[in-house]
Amino acid sequence: MPLSSDAKLTPALADFSRDVRLQPLAPLWERTMRMMPGSPCVPALWRYADTRPLLERAAALISKRDAERRVLVLENPALRGSYQVTPSLFAGLQIILPGEIAPSHRHTPNALRFIVDGEGAYTAVDGTRLPMSPGDFVVTPNWAWHDHGNLGDGPVVWLDGLDTPFTQFFGAMFRENHPQESQPIAHDSGDAPTPLRFPYTRTRAALAELARRAAPHPAHGHTLRYTNPVTGGNVFPTMAAFMQWLPRSFDGRSRRATDGAIYCVVEGSGTVYFDDAPHAFEAHDCFVIPPWQAHRFAARSDCVLFSFSDRAAQESLGFWRESLD
Protein backbone atom coordinates (compact mmCIF):
# COMPACT_ATOMS: atom_id res chain seq x y z
CA MET A 1 0.00 0.00 0.00
CA PRO A 2 1.42 3.43 -0.85
CA LEU A 3 2.28 5.63 2.11
CA SER A 4 0.38 8.89 2.26
CA SER A 5 1.83 12.11 3.66
CA ASP A 6 0.12 11.44 6.99
CA ALA A 7 1.74 8.03 7.36
CA LYS A 8 2.83 7.50 10.99
CA LEU A 9 6.48 8.34 11.44
CA THR A 10 7.39 5.19 13.39
CA PRO A 11 10.84 4.94 15.03
CA ALA A 12 11.88 2.56 12.26
CA LEU A 13 10.77 5.02 9.58
CA ALA A 14 12.49 7.91 11.38
CA ASP A 15 15.75 5.90 11.47
CA PHE A 16 15.34 5.06 7.82
CA SER A 17 14.66 8.70 6.92
CA ARG A 18 17.90 9.74 8.68
CA ASP A 19 19.89 7.16 6.72
CA VAL A 20 18.29 8.27 3.47
CA ARG A 21 19.12 11.91 4.10
CA LEU A 22 22.81 11.11 4.65
CA GLN A 23 22.86 10.95 0.86
CA PRO A 24 21.39 13.57 -1.49
CA LEU A 25 18.03 11.79 -1.27
CA ALA A 26 14.71 12.61 0.38
CA PRO A 27 11.66 10.44 1.08
CA LEU A 28 8.83 11.91 -0.98
CA TRP A 29 6.21 10.76 1.55
CA GLU A 30 7.52 13.28 4.06
CA ARG A 31 7.19 16.15 1.70
CA THR A 32 6.15 19.41 3.23
CA MET A 33 5.87 21.11 -0.17
CA ARG A 34 2.43 22.58 -0.65
CA MET A 35 0.47 20.52 -3.12
CA MET A 36 -2.21 23.13 -3.66
CA PRO A 37 -2.63 26.31 -5.69
CA GLY A 38 -1.32 29.58 -4.30
CA SER A 39 2.10 30.95 -3.45
CA PRO A 40 3.97 32.49 -0.53
CA CYS A 41 3.29 36.02 -1.79
CA VAL A 42 0.70 38.20 -0.09
CA PRO A 43 -1.64 41.01 -1.19
CA ALA A 44 -0.26 44.55 -0.98
CA LEU A 45 -1.23 48.04 -2.09
CA TRP A 46 1.15 50.93 -2.80
CA ARG A 47 -0.51 54.34 -2.51
CA TYR A 48 0.76 56.92 -4.98
CA ALA A 49 0.49 59.44 -2.16
CA ASP A 50 3.29 57.45 -0.46
CA THR A 51 5.39 56.40 -3.46
CA ARG A 52 5.39 59.73 -5.35
CA PRO A 53 7.29 61.68 -2.64
CA LEU A 54 9.84 58.84 -2.40
CA LEU A 55 10.29 58.87 -6.18
CA GLU A 56 10.90 62.64 -5.99
CA ARG A 57 13.48 62.13 -3.24
CA ALA A 58 15.16 59.45 -5.38
CA ALA A 59 15.24 61.95 -8.27
CA ALA A 60 16.93 64.54 -6.03
CA LEU A 61 19.49 62.10 -4.62
CA ILE A 62 20.57 59.96 -7.55
CA SER A 63 21.11 60.88 -11.19
CA LYS A 64 19.58 58.81 -13.97
CA ARG A 65 23.09 58.11 -15.29
CA ASP A 66 24.26 56.81 -11.91
CA ALA A 67 21.13 54.77 -11.31
CA GLU A 68 20.85 53.62 -14.95
CA ARG A 69 17.16 53.11 -14.13
CA ARG A 70 15.73 55.16 -11.23
CA VAL A 71 13.20 52.64 -10.03
CA LEU A 72 11.50 51.90 -6.74
CA VAL A 73 10.76 48.19 -6.84
CA LEU A 74 7.31 47.05 -5.72
CA GLU A 75 8.58 44.24 -3.53
CA ASN A 76 6.09 41.77 -2.16
CA PRO A 77 6.03 42.06 1.67
CA ALA A 78 6.39 38.27 1.90
CA LEU A 79 9.30 38.20 -0.59
CA ARG A 80 11.55 40.95 0.81
CA GLY A 81 15.03 40.93 -0.70
CA SER A 82 13.86 39.09 -3.82
CA TYR A 83 12.92 42.09 -6.00
CA GLN A 84 9.75 40.12 -6.80
CA VAL A 85 6.16 41.29 -6.62
CA THR A 86 4.95 37.74 -7.32
CA PRO A 87 7.13 34.63 -7.64
CA SER A 88 7.23 35.11 -11.43
CA LEU A 89 7.15 38.89 -11.91
CA PHE A 90 9.02 42.13 -11.26
CA ALA A 91 7.25 45.47 -10.93
CA GLY A 92 8.69 48.92 -10.28
CA LEU A 93 7.87 52.61 -10.48
CA GLN A 94 10.35 54.59 -12.57
CA ILE A 95 10.77 58.38 -12.52
CA ILE A 96 12.54 60.47 -15.15
CA LEU A 97 13.07 64.21 -14.92
CA PRO A 98 12.90 66.70 -17.81
CA GLY A 99 16.05 66.54 -19.95
CA GLU A 100 17.19 63.23 -18.52
CA ILE A 101 17.96 60.09 -20.46
CA ALA A 102 18.14 56.50 -19.26
CA PRO A 103 20.98 54.87 -21.25
CA SER A 104 20.36 52.19 -23.82
CA HIS A 105 20.65 48.52 -22.93
CA ARG A 106 19.02 45.18 -23.65
CA HIS A 107 18.33 42.04 -21.64
CA THR A 108 16.63 38.68 -21.86
CA PRO A 109 13.64 39.68 -19.68
CA ASN A 110 10.64 41.14 -21.51
CA ALA A 111 9.52 44.54 -20.24
CA LEU A 112 6.31 46.53 -20.31
CA ARG A 113 5.68 50.17 -19.37
CA PHE A 114 2.40 51.58 -18.21
CA ILE A 115 2.48 55.37 -18.00
CA VAL A 116 1.17 56.66 -14.68
CA ASP A 117 1.79 60.39 -14.52
CA GLY A 118 3.36 63.19 -16.57
CA GLU A 119 3.76 64.11 -20.24
CA GLY A 120 6.69 64.27 -22.64
CA ALA A 121 8.64 61.06 -22.06
CA TYR A 122 9.50 58.45 -24.67
CA THR A 123 10.96 54.99 -24.90
CA ALA A 124 13.11 54.09 -27.88
CA VAL A 125 12.79 50.40 -28.79
CA ASP A 126 15.01 48.95 -31.52
CA GLY A 127 15.31 52.22 -33.43
CA THR A 128 11.74 53.45 -33.00
CA ARG A 129 10.93 56.28 -30.64
CA LEU A 130 7.60 55.71 -28.88
CA PRO A 131 6.02 58.73 -27.18
CA MET A 132 4.38 57.99 -23.83
CA SER A 133 1.34 59.67 -22.24
CA PRO A 134 -0.60 58.67 -19.11
CA GLY A 135 -2.58 55.46 -19.70
CA ASP A 136 -0.40 54.39 -22.65
CA PHE A 137 0.95 50.87 -22.66
CA VAL A 138 4.32 50.15 -24.29
CA VAL A 139 5.91 46.80 -25.11
CA THR A 140 9.67 46.15 -25.00
CA PRO A 141 10.27 42.64 -26.37
CA ASN A 142 13.14 40.66 -24.92
CA TRP A 143 16.63 41.46 -26.27
CA ALA A 144 15.39 44.71 -27.89
CA TRP A 145 17.64 47.75 -27.33
CA HIS A 146 15.79 50.32 -25.24
CA ASP A 147 16.43 53.71 -23.65
CA HIS A 148 14.19 56.38 -22.25
CA GLY A 149 14.12 60.16 -22.28
CA ASN A 150 11.97 63.03 -21.08
CA LEU A 151 11.48 65.93 -23.52
CA GLY A 152 8.69 67.45 -21.41
CA ASP A 153 8.84 70.02 -18.63
CA GLY A 154 7.84 67.92 -15.63
CA PRO A 155 8.71 64.54 -14.09
CA VAL A 156 7.23 61.43 -15.68
CA VAL A 157 6.41 58.27 -13.73
CA TRP A 158 5.61 54.88 -15.17
CA LEU A 159 5.13 51.33 -14.01
CA ASP A 160 7.66 48.79 -15.27
CA GLY A 161 6.64 45.14 -15.48
CA LEU A 162 9.26 42.52 -16.28
CA ASP A 163 9.40 38.74 -16.35
CA THR A 164 12.88 38.78 -14.75
CA PRO A 165 12.08 35.90 -12.33
CA PHE A 166 11.43 33.66 -15.34
CA THR A 167 14.90 34.34 -16.75
CA GLN A 168 16.42 33.74 -13.32
CA PHE A 169 14.46 30.51 -12.87
CA PHE A 170 15.83 29.25 -16.19
CA GLY A 171 19.37 30.52 -15.55
CA ALA A 172 19.08 32.67 -18.67
CA MET A 173 19.60 36.23 -17.40
CA PHE A 174 21.78 38.10 -19.91
CA ARG A 175 22.16 41.85 -20.35
CA GLU A 176 24.43 44.29 -22.19
CA ASN A 177 24.86 48.02 -22.63
CA HIS A 178 24.54 49.70 -26.02
CA PRO A 179 27.82 51.24 -27.23
CA GLN A 180 26.02 54.61 -27.41
CA GLU A 181 24.11 56.19 -24.55
CA SER A 182 21.04 56.63 -26.75
CA GLN A 183 20.58 54.27 -29.67
CA PRO A 184 20.22 55.83 -33.14
CA ILE A 185 16.59 56.57 -33.98
CA ALA A 186 15.41 55.40 -37.41
CA HIS A 187 11.94 56.85 -36.91
CA ASP A 188 9.58 58.42 -34.43
CA SER A 189 6.28 56.55 -34.24
CA GLY A 190 4.41 59.69 -33.20
CA ASP A 191 0.79 58.64 -33.02
CA ALA A 192 1.16 56.14 -35.89
CA PRO A 193 0.05 52.61 -35.05
CA THR A 194 2.85 50.27 -34.01
CA PRO A 195 2.60 46.84 -32.40
CA LEU A 196 4.65 48.21 -29.50
CA ARG A 197 2.49 51.12 -28.33
CA PHE A 198 -1.16 51.15 -27.26
CA PRO A 199 -2.33 54.74 -26.74
CA TYR A 200 -4.83 55.29 -23.94
CA THR A 201 -7.25 57.24 -26.14
CA ARG A 202 -7.82 54.11 -28.24
CA THR A 203 -7.95 51.71 -25.28
CA ARG A 204 -10.47 53.90 -23.49
CA ALA A 205 -12.66 54.20 -26.59
CA ALA A 206 -12.58 50.40 -27.01
CA LEU A 207 -13.58 49.96 -23.35
CA ALA A 208 -16.47 52.40 -23.70
CA GLU A 209 -17.63 50.54 -26.80
CA LEU A 210 -17.43 47.19 -24.98
CA ALA A 211 -19.41 48.64 -22.06
CA ARG A 212 -22.13 49.81 -24.47
CA ARG A 213 -22.45 46.40 -26.10
CA ALA A 214 -22.27 43.93 -23.21
CA ALA A 215 -23.20 43.53 -19.56
CA PRO A 216 -20.24 43.61 -17.16
CA HIS A 217 -18.76 40.29 -16.09
CA PRO A 218 -19.96 39.68 -12.51
CA ALA A 219 -16.42 39.53 -11.12
CA HIS A 220 -14.20 41.68 -13.31
CA GLY A 221 -16.50 44.09 -15.10
CA HIS A 222 -15.58 44.99 -18.70
CA THR A 223 -12.15 43.63 -19.54
CA LEU A 224 -9.95 43.93 -22.63
CA ARG A 225 -6.75 42.04 -23.18
CA TYR A 226 -3.92 43.73 -25.12
CA THR A 227 -2.97 41.63 -28.14
CA ASN A 228 -0.19 41.61 -30.67
CA PRO A 229 -1.86 42.95 -33.85
CA VAL A 230 0.18 40.58 -36.04
CA THR A 231 -0.40 37.29 -34.16
CA GLY A 232 -3.62 38.14 -32.29
CA GLY A 233 -2.00 36.50 -29.26
CA ASN A 234 -0.64 37.94 -26.02
CA VAL A 235 1.82 40.81 -26.20
CA PHE A 236 4.54 38.64 -24.61
CA PRO A 237 5.12 34.87 -24.43
CA THR A 238 5.08 35.20 -20.63
CA MET A 239 2.98 38.22 -19.68
CA ALA A 240 -0.61 39.13 -20.52
CA ALA A 241 -1.89 42.68 -20.04
CA PHE A 242 -5.41 43.95 -19.51
CA MET A 243 -7.49 47.09 -19.17
CA GLN A 244 -10.67 46.83 -17.15
CA TRP A 245 -13.64 49.11 -16.59
CA LEU A 246 -15.73 48.84 -13.44
CA PRO A 247 -18.94 50.88 -13.73
CA ARG A 248 -19.82 53.22 -10.88
CA SER A 249 -21.37 51.27 -7.94
CA PHE A 250 -20.05 47.96 -9.34
CA ASP A 251 -20.12 45.36 -6.57
CA GLY A 252 -18.27 42.36 -7.95
CA ARG A 253 -18.35 38.69 -7.14
CA SER A 254 -15.36 37.04 -5.52
CA ARG A 255 -12.93 35.40 -7.93
CA ARG A 256 -9.56 33.74 -7.87
CA ALA A 257 -7.14 32.80 -10.63
CA THR A 258 -3.75 31.10 -10.74
CA ASP A 259 -2.06 34.14 -12.29
CA GLY A 260 -0.89 36.67 -9.75
CA ALA A 261 -1.60 40.14 -11.16
CA ILE A 262 -0.20 43.65 -10.66
CA TYR A 263 -2.73 46.45 -10.97
CA CYS A 264 -2.35 50.15 -11.61
CA VAL A 265 -5.40 52.36 -11.13
CA VAL A 266 -5.84 54.71 -14.09
CA GLU A 267 -9.09 56.46 -13.17
CA GLY A 268 -11.61 56.39 -10.35
CA SER A 269 -11.68 55.09 -6.82
CA GLY A 270 -12.96 51.95 -5.19
CA THR A 271 -12.02 49.03 -3.00
CA VAL A 272 -10.43 45.66 -3.62
CA TYR A 273 -11.21 43.05 -0.98
CA PHE A 274 -8.69 40.29 -0.35
CA ASP A 275 -10.81 37.59 1.25
CA ASP A 276 -12.76 40.08 3.33
CA ALA A 277 -10.00 42.63 3.99
CA PRO A 278 -10.77 45.96 2.24
CA HIS A 279 -8.04 47.97 0.51
CA ALA A 280 -9.28 51.32 -0.79
CA PHE A 281 -7.65 52.56 -4.00
CA GLU A 282 -7.38 55.87 -5.84
CA ALA A 283 -5.96 56.85 -9.22
CA HIS A 284 -2.23 55.97 -9.63
CA ASP A 285 -2.23 53.43 -6.76
CA CYS A 286 -0.77 50.00 -7.49
CA PHE A 287 -1.67 46.68 -5.91
CA VAL A 288 -0.87 42.99 -6.27
CA ILE A 289 -3.36 40.15 -6.27
CA PRO A 290 -1.38 36.97 -5.46
CA PRO A 291 -1.94 33.69 -7.34
CA TRP A 292 -5.18 31.98 -6.25
CA GLN A 293 -6.04 34.83 -3.85
CA ALA A 294 -9.79 35.34 -3.45
CA HIS A 295 -10.62 38.97 -4.30
CA ARG A 296 -13.53 41.15 -5.32
CA PHE A 297 -13.93 44.71 -6.54
CA ALA A 298 -16.27 47.50 -5.51
CA ALA A 299 -16.26 50.77 -7.48
CA ARG A 300 -17.18 54.12 -5.92
CA SER A 301 -16.92 55.90 -9.27
CA ASP A 302 -16.29 54.62 -12.80
CA CYS A 303 -12.92 52.89 -12.51
CA VAL A 304 -10.35 52.07 -15.17
CA LEU A 305 -7.74 49.54 -14.05
CA PHE A 306 -4.63 48.37 -15.89
CA SER A 307 -3.16 44.99 -14.95
CA PHE A 308 -0.57 42.47 -16.06
CA SER A 309 0.17 38.92 -15.01
CA ASP A 310 1.95 35.74 -16.06
CA ARG A 311 -1.28 34.40 -17.58
CA ALA A 312 0.28 34.14 -21.07
CA ALA A 313 2.86 31.66 -19.78
CA GLN A 314 0.35 29.78 -17.66
CA GLU A 315 -2.09 29.40 -20.55
CA SER A 316 0.52 28.10 -22.96
CA LEU A 317 1.71 25.64 -20.30
CA GLY A 318 -1.84 24.47 -19.58
CA PHE A 319 -1.65 25.62 -15.93
CA TRP A 320 -4.11 28.51 -15.86
CA ARG A 321 -7.28 28.09 -13.77
CA GLU A 322 -9.97 30.49 -12.57
CA SER A 323 -12.79 30.09 -10.09
CA LEU A 324 -15.77 32.27 -9.19
CA ASP A 325 -16.45 31.79 -5.50
Q: For binding to ligand GTQ (CB under 6 A), which residues are involved?
A: 69, 71, 92, 94, 107, 111, 146, 160, 162
Q: What 3-state DSSP class applies to 250?
A: coil
Rounded Cα–Cα distance for residues 241 and 238 (Å): 10
Q: Which is nearer to ligand GTQ, 71 or 116 (CB)?
A: 71
Rounded Cα–Cα distance for residues 50 and 30 (Å): 45
Q: Which is nearer to ligand GTQ, 94 or 203 (CB)?
A: 94
Task: Specify whether the CB–CB gap between 122 and 165 falls below 8 A.
Answer: no
Rounded Cα–Cα distance for residues 266 and 281 (Å): 10
Which residue's beta carbon is nearest to the bound ligand GTQ?
Answer: 160
Rounded Cα–Cα distance for residues 250 and 252 (Å): 6
Smallest gap from Cβ 55 to ligand GTQ, in A, equals 12
Q: Which is nearer to ligand GTQ, 113 or 220 (CB)?
A: 113
Q: Which is nearer to ligand GTQ, 111 or 313 (CB)?
A: 111
| Number of helices and strands in the chain (H, E) | 6, 23
Q: Which is nearer to ligand GTQ, 144 or 305 (CB)?
A: 144
Q: How far is CA 33 from CA 5, 27, 73, in A?
A: 11, 12, 28
